[in-house]
Amino acid sequence: MKPTLLILAAGMGSRYGSLKQVDGLGPNDETIIDYSVFDAMRAGFGKVVFVIRKHIEKEFREVFSGRFKGKVNFELVFQELDMLPEGFTCPPERKKPWGTAHAVWVARDKIREPFAVINADDFYGQEAFEEMAKALSDPPPGEGDYFLAGYRLGNTLSDQGHVSRAICTTNDKGCLETIVERTRIGREDGRVVYVDNRGEKVPVDEDSLVSMNFWGFTPGFFSHCGSIFEDFLSKSIEDPGSEFFIPLVVDKLIKSNRASCKVIPTSASWFGVTYPGDKPVVKEKLLQLVRDGRYPSPLW
C-alpha cells in the first residue's frame, strides 16, 4: 500500500503578504507545492490530500487542477474554525486557526494508510521524500511507529530575518525524546543564537536537528489526535491565542508509551518562503536545481 502525502495549505502567510501557496517560483511559474508533489510521486507516494480554507478553493483549483490532471490523484479537505469534536462550539471571537494538529485531524476521513505531513510553503528536497516513503512502506510501520525528518539547523535559517524552529533531542536509538520550539533564531557574530523567554540571547549548535514539520504517521494517529484535541479544548477553548500543534500530540503519545518517533536525519536541502525577501532567493535555488538536472522544466 502506497503512503499518502498530506499537505497543510490553509495558512495565508501573514508575514509574506500574499497567498504564497500558489505563488509561482519555479522557472515556469511552478509553486513550491508543485515540487513537493513531484518529489512525493517519484518517491512512491500514492495520492495527495490538501488541507485548505474554503475561501481559497477557487484559486487553489485554478492553479492545480489542470497541471495535476491525469498525473496526480489528489483531494481537498477544509480546515475551518467551527470544525470541532462533538460537544464543542467555537467561541465567536475566535479568529486564529486551531493549529497544525487540527489541520491533520480534519483529514481523518480521507486517509486510511500510512501518511506523511508537510507544510505547503517549505521545499523539503527529493532525498527527504525518498527516506520518508521508505519508512512508511518498507516494511509497513507498526501502529505506534512514527517518523520525523530531521534537518540541520544551520541549513534552515533565513538571511531575511529571524525564524522559529523546533529543536529535537533523540535517544540512543535515534527516537525523539524532546522537541522544543525556539524563537527568534538567527546568526549573530558568527554564531547561531535564539532569544529565550527573558529576552536573553542563547547560543545553539547549528548542527542540531530541527523539525520542519515533515512527519510520518499511521492512521491511528487521527484517533489519538481527536482525543487529545478534546482535552485541549476542555482547557483552552476560551483562550483566543491557544493553538493545537502536532508536536504537542506526539509528545503526549511518546510520554505515555503509546508511540515512538524515529528521527530521520536528512541531507536534503531545505528552503522556504517566510519573508518577501526570500522569494528571489528561492527562485534562484529552484532555477539552479533545474540547471543541475534535478528537475525537468516545465515540471509537469
What pLDDT digit, counting tens, does each position of 202-214 carry?
999 999 999 999 9
Rg of the chain in Å (alpha carbons): 19
Q: What is the mean pLDDT of the chain?
A: 93
pLDDT greater than 60 at residue 30: yes
Give the contacts of 274 (CB within 8 A, at least 6 positions apart).
Answer: 15, 16, 121, 158, 160, 161, 163
Q: Which CATH number fits domain 4-146+210-252+267-291: 3.10.50.40, 3.90.550.10, 3.40.50.920, 1.20.120.80?
A: 3.90.550.10
Query: What's the number of CA atoms in the CB half-sphere (13 Å) around residue 244?
Result: 24
- How far lies 16's CA from each of 21, 90, 163, 201, in Å? 11, 28, 13, 25
Q: What is the pLDDT of residue 218?
A: 98
> Do the Cβ atoms of 210 and 168 come closer than 8 Å?
yes
> Do the Cβ atoms of 261 and 114 come closer than 8 Å?
no
d(CA 21, CA 200): 34
Q: What is the pLDDT of residue 17?
A: 45
Q: What is the pLDDT of residue 16?
A: 42
Which one, of 172, 146, 150, 169, lies nearest residue 259 by Cα? Answer: 146
> Do the Cβ atoms of 22 and 13 come closer than 8 Å?
no
Least confident of 49-58, 169-178, 223-232: 49-58
Q: In the chain, where does DSSP find H-type helix?
A: 32-43, 57-68, 100-105, 126-135, 221-236, 246-255, 278-291
d(CA 21, CA 11): 8
Query: Residue ranges of the domains in the chain?
Result: 4-146+210-252+267-291
Q: What is the pLDDT of residue 20?
A: 56
Phi and psi dihedrals of 154, rounded to 5?
Answer: -60, -20
Q: What is the pLDDT of residue 272?
A: 84
pLDDT greater than 80 at residue 274: no
